Chain A
Amino acid sequence: MAEILLIEDNPGDILLTLEAFKECGQKHNISSVKDGVEALKYLQKENTYSNSVTPDIILLDLNLPKKDGRQVLEEIKKDEKLKKIPVIILSTSKNENDIIKSYELNANCYIAKPVELEHFINIISEIEKFWFNTVKLPVIS
């Protein structure tokens, strides 16, 4: 069972992502945090997160309170230990600058969230197939 960290502030989106994984019929351990500061604490296992499990992949929204997604991405990719974890940007934005900026900050891929549920379920299913079946992920000690 894979470990997924979902960094997303909108509860509607969190539930929707969980539901989409459910629709795909795959069970994973999905944890979620609602802002950038919490996300980094989770990943660094600080404070209340001392028992958190290092995720296999990270799903990251760009527009987050406190510390926004770009900053979170930058800090993850600067961290010797965390930078190996694939970060998938999941954003509503189709803005070219957002896309370029994300890749410049070494995002592993960028996905624009679609409006239609069926499309979203397909995307989650693609993520699932690609990152957990096709790809060999690094072992993070």
Chain B
Amino acid sequence: MEEFVNRNKIFIIEDESIIARDLESVLSGYDYNVSGIFANAEDAISKITENNPDLVLMDITLRGNIDGIEAAKRIKKEYSLPVIFLTAFDDDATLKKMKDINHDGYLVKPFEEEKLSYFVQNALSKNKNGINEKDKRIKYLENRLNEAVKELEQFSYIASHDLQEPLRMIASYVQLLQKRYGGKLDPEADEFINFAVDGSKRMKNIINDLLTYSNISVNTNFETVDLNIIAAETINTLKTNKPGSKISVKYSELPAIFCNKAQMQMLFYNLIDNAAKFNNNIPEISIDYSKDGNTQIFSVKDNGIGIDENYSGTIFEIFRTLNNRKEYPGTGAGLAICRKIAENHGGNIWFTSSPGVGSTFYFSIPVNQDFR
């Protein structure tokens, strides 16, 4: 069985069926697996992805919409497969046509068995090296990507740290100005100072959020966590942070999952907080859970203002806000942080909503996290 799997697969594109059969029997004799015989190039190309052949043996003059040269070009370019031509002539005109293509040999009909076998063997081993080169290239790009991601994380971490220092000076001194000289200069001066104080506070929030955001994938402590406890704690924290608010949060029996606890707390907090914040009613929030195969799906449903689903693409981008900052304060980092947490757990985040009625945010976490 294993031997069969390891046999190289060959496509033959030849409109003369007798020749095609002849080729097949010779190749089978050399223990190759002729996995497809086609009279025209389109049919063959359409089967490449599905059949995954190792080599294409083809006539240079073919009936159909694409001739042999054109087909070979596509097969080489799009699928990087070795191509051996079969031709009835080896006159200058034919050779010139073939020259454009980096083919892996040509056989003049009637072909010699040994020459056929030699060309096929040669082309296959050459392509194997090609695959090794490709693997190396992929490995190289993967390393580069990992480095770039790390660099970017480090960059935003350092940037937000270093930004805090001068910001602290600006914020502290405008606040000191306000404290000492507020109401003592003139109304215009007070207004200027207020804008400066407000700006520095917003800047502080943005930098903190950026720091939180850039820290998410750095954090890798995963453990089994009972989400019922997380939900209960989050609701408590939220009620402590918003004293006097009449938030009702219900949650069904939640599972224990393999996750980063601090991140999961943040994810729950942000979603519940949003559900309460973007809400003009007395917030009624329900958290539910379902399982679909390997995927655990959680939902946070509210009776809030809702979101125009046209914004489904942008709402998870960092520092995007849809609403008036005065009415609904915030930097617009919350959902971006949520998305990063879900993705960091191999999952996803999305929502459904009807404006004026409410929204439901869903996030998925796969049970099996072997990819980690």
Contacts and interface: CB of A to CB of B under 8 A. Distances in A.
B253 to A, nearest CB: 35
A118 interface: yes
A62 B167 CA distance: 18
Contacts of B204: 115-116
Contacts of A12: 169, 173
Interface string B140-172: 000000000000000000000100110111011
A23 B172 CA distance: 13
Contact of A115 (B161, B164, B176): B164
Given A115-B204, A116-B204, A92 B176 contact: no
B179 A115 contact: no
Contacts of B176: 16, 19, 117
Interface string B51-67: 00000000000000000
A34 interface: no
Interface residues of A, number: 16
B175 interface: yes
Given A12-B169, A113-B168, A115-B204, A93 B175 contact: no
Chain B at the A interface: mostly helix, strand, loop or mixed? Answer: helix
Given A115-B167, A115-B204, A116-B204, A93 B172 contact: no
Interface in A86-138: 92-93, 95, 113-118, 120
B173 A93 contact: no
A116 B169 contact: no
Contacts of A16: 169, 172-173, 176
B175 A118 contact: yes
A120 B169 CA distance: 12
Interface in A33-65: none
Contacts of B164: 92, 115
A92 B168 contact: yes
Contacts of A95: 161
A116 B172 CA distance: 6
Contact of B171 (A13, A23, A117): A117
A20 to B, nearest CB: 9
Nearest to A93: B161
Most A-side CB within 10 Å, residue of B171, B176, B204: B176
A115 B160 CA distance: 13
Nearest to B204: A115
Contacts of A117: 171-172, 175-176, 179
Interface string B187-201: 000000000000011
Contact of A116 (B161, B165, B171, B173): B171
Interface string B315-328: 00000000000000
A12 B174 CA distance: 12
A120 B171 CA distance: 11
Interface of A: 10, 12-13, 16, 19, 23, 92-93, 95, 113-118, 120
Given A10-B169, A92-B164, 17 more contacts: A12-B173, A13-B169, A16-B169, A16-B173, A16-B176, A19-B176, A92-B161, A92-B165, A92-B168, A93-B161, A113-B168, A114-B168, A115-B164, A115-B168, A115-B171, A116-B175, A120-B172
16 contacts: A10-B165, A12-B169, A13-B169, A19-B176, A23-B179, A92-B165, A92-B168, A115-B164, A115-B167, A115-B204, A116-B171, A116-B172, A117-B172, A117-B175, A117-B176, A118-B175
